[in-house]
Amino acid sequence: MTINTKTRLTLCTATLALLGTSVAAQELNLYTSREPGLVEPLLEAFTKETGVKVNTVFLKDGLAERVASEGEASPADLLMAVDAGNLADLVDKGLTQPVESEVLTAAVPENLRDPGKQWFALSMRARVVYAAKDLELDSITYEQLADPAWKGKLCIRSGQHPYNTGLFSAFLSHHGAEQTETWLEGVKANLARKAGGGDRDGAKDILGGICDIAVANSYYVGLMRSGKGGDEQRAWGDAIKVILPTFEDGGTHVNISGAAVAKYAPNKEEAVKLLEFLVSDEAQKIYGEANFEYPVKPGVALDPIVASFGELKVDPTPLTEIVANRAEASALVDKVGFDN
């Protein structure tokens, strides 16, 4: 009644595909908050190898809510998300099921999967510092980002973005609430412009003369420098150098992308198959080549651009702790008016 016949007809295909899933075994349904442009090469390779067709819907923030509302009638088989916090959310809401798979436990290091085997990391990204190419700076700690020497020279996206709340959570683990608040105030005081935009804007704004250093994720550099985004972005990528910052008493903050099998997955077998495929050497290489992320599987070669950043020393703070600190970190961001 809210849609006319014509539209209904167009949507019919989608419906049939959906209704068909419970019958046809060689399909599976993927709910992903990772962007289609990234996931597609992986899925194509999977379908080519196994013959299993993957139906996808790219959801952003409503992933957990959608699966939860759909309940036992949900067609979702595999849930793919960025950020350990989002994966943990899925588990907390009771939307996932544990997976017993030797392939997975062998490929994914213990600190990169849920202790209850509910989710598994598939790739890693580091929160790094971009610096103007001619800047005399070879190393920096996260703590030094609050150093007044950087006043008016730092660019960063919204403090409430999950990439930043993840980093701030890790800071909380290292230094406690009081010091984190002081540090956030210091970082805020150093901002060259309002916190906002995306990570790539950091590089763009460095080239544009707005700032000298920017906090951003590692893979954007690969996307820019490889020329995949066109010549203009290559110029942004070439205008910066990447520094892997560390905590004074730790390493570089990384976050993950990962996946979990849905609790009511109608095609659980296929879902596990896809999950296992995603940690295969082939897929792990695609993660590196298509999106310049760090593979989770030990021994898989890095993309040359990523390798050029230097050796990644991952901060030992457990992901579970970072997840647990998230709400507090977000509250601190509000408290110091980081984004105002």
Query: Residues binding another protein: what is the number (CB under 8 A)?
Result: 75
The phi and psi torsions of 168 (rounded to 5 degrees) equal -65, -35
Instruction: Specify which residues 257 forms β-bridges with.
Output: 82, 123
* Residue with the two structure tokens 């213990």: 110
Task: Point out which residues pair with 167 in neighbouring strands.
Answer: none
- Residue selected from 42, 85, 258, 271 as contacting another protein according to rule CB under 8 A: 85
Least CB distance to another protein at residue 23 (A):
10
46 binds another protein (CB under 8 A): no
Q: How far is the CB of 53 from another protein (least distance, A)?
A: 10
The count of C-alpha atoms lying within 13 angstroms of the C-alpha of 287, restricted to the half-sphere facing its C-beta, is 25
Least Å distance between CB 102 and another protein?
30
**Beta carbons within 10 angstroms of residue 210's beta carbon:** 16
Please pick, from the candidates 84, 162, 213, 288, the single residue that binds another protein as defined by CB under 8 A. 162
Q: Closest Cα to residue 123, out of 49, 43, 218, 46? A: 218
CB of 339 to another protein, least distance (A): 5
User: Which span (43-51, 175-183, 296-304, 323-331) binds another protein, by CB under 8 A?
Assistant: 323-331
Residue labelled with tokens 């409503």: 62
Residue 325: Cβ within 10 Å count: 23
Query: In the chain, what is the straight-line distance between the N-terminal and C-terminal CA atoms, in Å?
Result: 44
Structure tokens at 156: 């960063």
Site string for another protein, 52-71 (x = CB under 8 A): ---xxxxxxxx--xx--xxx
DSSP 8-state class, residue 149: G
State yes or no: residue 127 binds another protein (CB under 8 A). Answer: no
Question: Are the beta carbons of 42 and 35 closer than 8 angstroms?
Answer: no
Residue 182 interacts with another protein (CB under 8 A): yes or no: no
CB of 333 to another protein, least distance (A): 8
- Of 137-145, 179-187, 277-285, 330-338, which segment contacts another protein by CB under 8 A? 330-338
With CB under 8 A as the contact rule, the residue among 177, 181, 193, 238 that binds another protein is 193
Contact positions with another protein (CB under 8 A) in 213-252: 220, 223, 228-230, 233
Residue of 24, 26, 35, 281 that binds another protein (CB under 8 A): 35
Nearer to another protein, 108 or 323 (CB): 323
Strands 254-262, 96-97: pairing kind: antiparallel
